[in-house]
Chain A
Amino acid sequence: MSGSKAVAGATPDEPREPAVPGSSGMSLACADVSFSYEEARAPIPAVRDVSFELPAGGSLALMGASGSGKSTLLQVVRGLDAPDTGAVLLDGAAPVDAGYAALQREVGLVFQAPELQLFAATAREDVAFGPRRLGWPEEQVTAAVDTALDVVGLPPAHFAERHPYSLSGGEQRRLALAGVLAMRPRLLLLDEPFVSLDPGTRRQLVGILERLKAAGVTLLLATHDVDLAWALCDELLVLGEGRLVAAGPWDFSTAGGRLLAENRLREPFFVELWRRLGRDPQRAPRSASAAAEALS
Chain B
Amino acid sequence: MKATIAQYYAGDSLLHRLDPRAKFVAVSALAVALFVRDSFAGLAVYAAAAVLAYALSGVPVAWFWRAFRPLLWLVALTFVAQVVFAPGDPFFSFWFIHLSWRGLELAAFLSLRLVVLVLVGSVLTLTTPSMALTDGLAWLGRPLRRLRVPTDELALMVTIALRFIPTLLVELDTIMRAQRARGADFRHGGLGERTRSLVPVLVPLFVLSFRRADELALAMEARCYRPGAVRTRLHPLRAGWSDFALLVVTAAVIAAGLLV
User: Which residues of A are interface residues toward B (Cβ below 8 A)?
Assistant: 39-40, 75, 78, 80, 105, 108-109, 111, 114, 116-120, 129-130, 133-134, 165, 179-180, 183
Contacts and interface: CB of A to CB of B under 8 A. Distances in A.
A296 to B, nearest CB: 45
Interface string B1-40: 1110000000000000000000000000000000000000
B192 to A, nearest CB: 17
Nearest to B181: A109
Chain B CB within 10 Å — which of A39, A119, A134 has the most? A119
B181 A111 contact: yes
A117 B175 contact: yes
Given A105-B183, A130-B182, A133-B184, A116 B199 contact: no
B200 interface: yes
A80 B183 contact: no
Nearest to A109: B181
B183 A133 contact: yes
B226 to A, nearest CB: 31
Interface stretch (B143-151, B202-210, B237-245): B202-210
A180 B200 contact: no
A119 B185 CA distance: 16
Contacts of A111: 174, 177-178, 181
A118 B180 contact: no
Interface string B189-221: 000000000011101100110000000000000
Nearest to B63: A40
Contacts of B200: 117, 119-120, 129
A130 B200 CA distance: 11
Given A105-B183, A111-B178, A117 B204 contact: yes
B179 interface: yes
Contacts of B199: 119
Interface in B141-184: 171, 174-175, 177-184
Nearest to B182: A130
A68 to B, nearest CB: 18
A133 B185 CA distance: 9
A111 B182 CA distance: 11
B187 to A, nearest CB: 13
B207 A80 contact: no
A179 B182 contact: yes
Q: Which of the listed residues B178, B199, B208 has the most CB atoms from chain A within 10 Å of its own CB?
A: B178
B181 to A, nearest CB: 4
Enumerate the 4 nearest inter-chain pairs by beta-carbon distance, A residue then B residue, closest first. A133-B183, A119-B203, A130-B182, A109-B181
Given A80-B177, A117-B204, A118-B204, A40 B1 contact: yes
Contacts of B183: 105, 129-130, 133-134, 183
A80 to B, nearest CB: 5
Nearest to B211: A116
Which of B177, B182, B204, B207: most chain A CB closer than 10 A? B182
Given A129-B182, A130-B183, A183-B182, A75 B204 contact: no
A80 B208 contact: no
Nearest to B177: A80
A260 to B, nearest CB: 29
Among A39, A40, A105, A108, the one with the most B-chain Cβ atoms within 10 Å of its Cβ is A40
A132 B204 CA distance: 19
Contact of A116 (B175, B177, B180): B175
B65 to A, nearest CB: 13
Interface in B35-71: none
B166 to A, nearest CB: 12
B207 A75 contact: no
Given A119-B199, A165-B207, A114 B184 contact: no
Contacts of B204: 116-119
- Highest count of chain B CB atoms <10 Å: which of A39, A111, A179, A180: A111
Contacts of B177: 75, 80, 111
Contacts of B179: 117, 129
Given A80-B180, A111-B178, A117-B178, 20 more contacts: A40-B3, A78-B181, A80-B177, A80-B181, A108-B181, A111-B174, A111-B177, A111-B181, A114-B178, A116-B171, A116-B175, A116-B204, A117-B204, A119-B203, A120-B200, A129-B200, A130-B183, A179-B182, A183-B182, A183-B183
Interface string B86-98: 0000000000000
A84 B248 CA distance: 54
A39 to B, nearest CB: 8
A136 to B, nearest CB: 11
A115 B5 CA distance: 34
Nearest to B175: A117
A245 B179 CA distance: 31
